[in-house]
Amino acid sequence: MKHFLVLIEYLIPVEELGDILPRHRSFLQTGYEKGILLLSGPKEPRTGGVAIARVESKEAIEEFFSQDPYQIEHVATHQFVEFNPVLHQPWLENWIRG
């Protein structure tokens, strides 16, 4: 499994997200249910968000986030940074190993 830091950058002010924000969070919930996402949340200040994900390939994470309402509505960009979690809390061992 490969691990990714997902950086989301809004293209519009957060106040203009309207009903897209709840749809985005519902989309993220599917990632938790599939075991793809470990955590996610907005950046401070609210210029976008961050997620930690685990999938088979960069193509897989790109495909997953292609269904994000933020991407569909063209209100944010997504950057995928692959990393190797060499050090981590012991309680994350099972998730990291997949």
Which pLDDT tens digits describe the chain residue by residue (98 residues)? Answer: 999 999 999 999 999 999 999 999 999 999 999 999 999 999 999 999 999 999 999 999 999 999 999 999 999 999 999 999 999 999 999 999 88
Show the tokens assigned to 27.
Answer: 């989309």
Which domains are seen in the chain, by residue range?
Answer: 2-97 (3.30.70.1060)
Spatial contact of 93 and 1, defined as CB atoms under 8 Å apart: no
pLDDT computed for residue 86 by the predictor: 95
pLDDT computed for residue 98 by the predictor: 82
User: How far apart are alpha carbons 51 and 49 in whole angstroms?
Assistant: 7
